[in-house]
Structure 1
Amino acid sequence: MVTDEKLSLEDVAVLLSKSKETIRRWDNVGKLPAFREPMSNYRYYKRSQLDIFDEVKAMNIHTTHQEPQPSDEYTVLELFAGAGGLAIGMEQAGLKCVALNEIDKYAAATLRENRPKWNVLEGDIRNISFSEFAHQVDVVTGGFPCQAFSYAGKRFGFQDARGTLFYEFARTVQETKPKICIGENVKGLQSHDGGRTLKTMIAILDEIGYRVIDPKVLKAIYYNVPQKRERLILVGVRKDLDIDFNYPIPNKKVLNLSDALKKGKLFNCDVPESPGTKYPASKKKVLDLVPPGGYWRDLPLDIQKEYMQKSFFLGGGKTGMARRISWDEPSLTLTCSPAQKQTERCHPDETRPFTVREYARIQTFPDEWKFAGPVSAQYKQIGNAVPINLGKAIGQSIVEFLNEVSKQNEELISA
Structure 2
Amino acid sequence: MRSVELCAGAGGLALGLEQAGFDPALLVDNRDTSCATLRANRPRWNILSTDLLGFEPRLHLPRSTHIDLLAAGLPRVKSAATVSRPRGSGWELELLETTGRLASELRPRSLLIENVPELVTRLEYRESRSCVEKYLDKAGYEYRWLVIDARDFGVPQHRLLGLLVALRDGGIASFDTNLKALPPSLNLTVGTVLRASMGARGWPQVDEWAAQADEIAPTIVGGSWDRGGADLGPQGSVRAWARIGVNGRSISDEPPAADFVWNPALGHERMVKLTIEQVATLQGFPSYWRIEGRKTARYRQVGNATPPPAAFAVGLALRAALTDH
Task: Identify the TM-score tier after normalising by the shorter chain.
Answer: 0.7 to 0.9
Matched, 1:188 2:118: yes
Distance 2:105 2:175 in 1: 25
> What displacement does 1:130 show?
1.1
SS at match of 1:332: coil
Instruction: Give the SS at the match of 1:206.
Output: helix
Question: C-alpha deviations, 1:270-314, integer Å up to 9, x for none?
Answer: 47969xxxxxxxxxxxxxxxx979xxxxxxxxxxxxxxxxxxxxx
Q: Secondary structure at the match of 1:126?
A: helix
Gaps of 5+ in 1: 1-73, 152-160, 264-269, 275-290, 294-324, 406-415
Give the corresponding residue for 2:9: 82
In 2, the alpha carbon distance for the partners of 1:236 and 1:76 equals 14
1:150 is displaced (CA, Å) by 6.7
Asked if residue 246 in structure 1 is aligned to residue 246 in structure 2, the reply is no
Q: Report whether the alignment pairs 1:127 with 2:57.
A: no
Whether the aligned pair in 1 keeps the contact of 2:276 and 2:298 (CA below 8 Å) is yes
Helix, strand or coil at the partner of 2:80 = coil
Deviations 1:130-177 (A, max 9, x none): 1335552110000223144379xxxxxxxxx99711122112212221
* CA–CA separation in structure 2 for the residues paired with 1:361 and 1:129: 35
- 1:236 paired residue among 136, 152, 166: 166
The residue aligned with 2:220 is 334
State the Cα RMSD in Å: 2.8
8 A contact 1:192–1:198 mirrored in 2: no
Amino acid at match of 1:108: C
Residues 149, 158 of structure 2: 8 Å contact kept: yes
Residue pair 1:219, 1:229 contacting (<8 A) in 2 also:
yes
In 2, the alpha carbon distance for the partners of 1:370 and 1:108 equals: 12
Quote the residue 1:391 is aligned against.
Answer: 311
- 2:147 is paired with a residue whose SS is strand
Q: Identity, % of aligned pairs?
A: 27
Match for 2:155 among 207, 218, 225? 225
Residue 51 of structure 1 corresponds to which residue in structure 2?
Answer: none
| TM-score, length basis structure 1 | 0.59
Counterpart CA distance in 2 for 1:272 and 1:205 is: 50
- Please point out which of 90, 96, 116 is paired with 2:43: 116
Cα contact 1:339–1:353 (8 A) shared by 2: no
* Matched-pair contact (CA < 8 Å) for 2:27–2:47: yes
1:342-397: CA deviation from partner (whole Å, max 9, x where unpaired):
22235647513311111000011111111111111111000000111101101111
Structure 2: unaligned runs, 5 residues or longer: 83-90, 202-207, 223-229, 247-261, 263-270
What amino acid does structure 1 have at the position aligned with 2:109? K
Corresponding residue pairs, total: 267
Query: Aligned to 2:143, which of 199, 205, 212?
Result: 212
Output the amino acid matched with 1:258: G
User: Which residue does 1:106 correspond to in 2?
Assistant: 33
* Cα contact 1:223–1:393 (8 A) shared by 2: yes
1:13-64 C-alpha deviation (Å, 9 max, x unpaired): xxxxxxxxxxxxxxxxxxxxxxxxxxxxxxxxxxxxxxxxxxxxxxxxxxxx
Which of 311, 321, 324 in structure 2 is aligned with 1:401? 321
State which of 187, 193, 201 in structure 2 corresponds to 1:260.
193
Distance 1:332 1:127, change over 3 A: same
Task: Provide Cα deviations, 1:56-77, integer angstroms capped at 9, x if missing partner.
Answer: xxxxxxxxxxxxxxxxxx0110
- Deviation (angstroms), 1:97: 1.3
Following TM superposition, by how much is the alpha carbon of 1:91 offset from its aligned partner in structure 2, in angstroms? Answer: 1.0
SS of equivalent residue, structure 1 residue 401: helix
Distance 1:340 1:166, change over 3 A: closer
Secondary structure, in 3 states, of the residue corresponding to 2:288? coil
- Provide closer, same or farther for how the CA distance between residues 174 and 200 of structure 1 changes in structure 2, counting only shifts above 3 A: closer
Structure 1 segment 131-142 matched on structure 2, within 5 A:
131=58, 132=61, 136-142=66-72
- Work out the CA distance in 2 between the residues paired with 1:106 and 1:273: 28
Deviation of 1:256 after TM superposition, in Å, equals: 1.4
Q: Which residue, 81, 88, 95 being the options, matches 2:22?
A: 95
Aligned to 1:381: 301
Query: Residue 149 of structure 1 aligns with which residue?
Result: 80
1:98 Cα deviation after fit: 1.4
Kept in 2: contact 1:220–1:387 (CA 8 A): yes
Q: Matched residues in 2 for 1:171 and 1:195: separation? A: 18
Structure 1 residue 200, shift from structure 2 partner: 4.5
Tell me: higher relative CO, structure 1 or 2? Use CA pairs within 8 A at least 6 residues apart: 2
Where in structure 2 are the equivalents of 1:268-347 lying within 5 Å?
270=197, 326-336=212-222, 337-342=230-235, 343-344=237-238, 345-346=241-242
1:212 counterpart SS class: strand
Q: What does residue range 34-49 of structure 1 map to in structure 2 within 5 Å?
A: none
The within-5 A match list for 1:12-27 is none
TM-score, normalising length from structure 2? 0.74
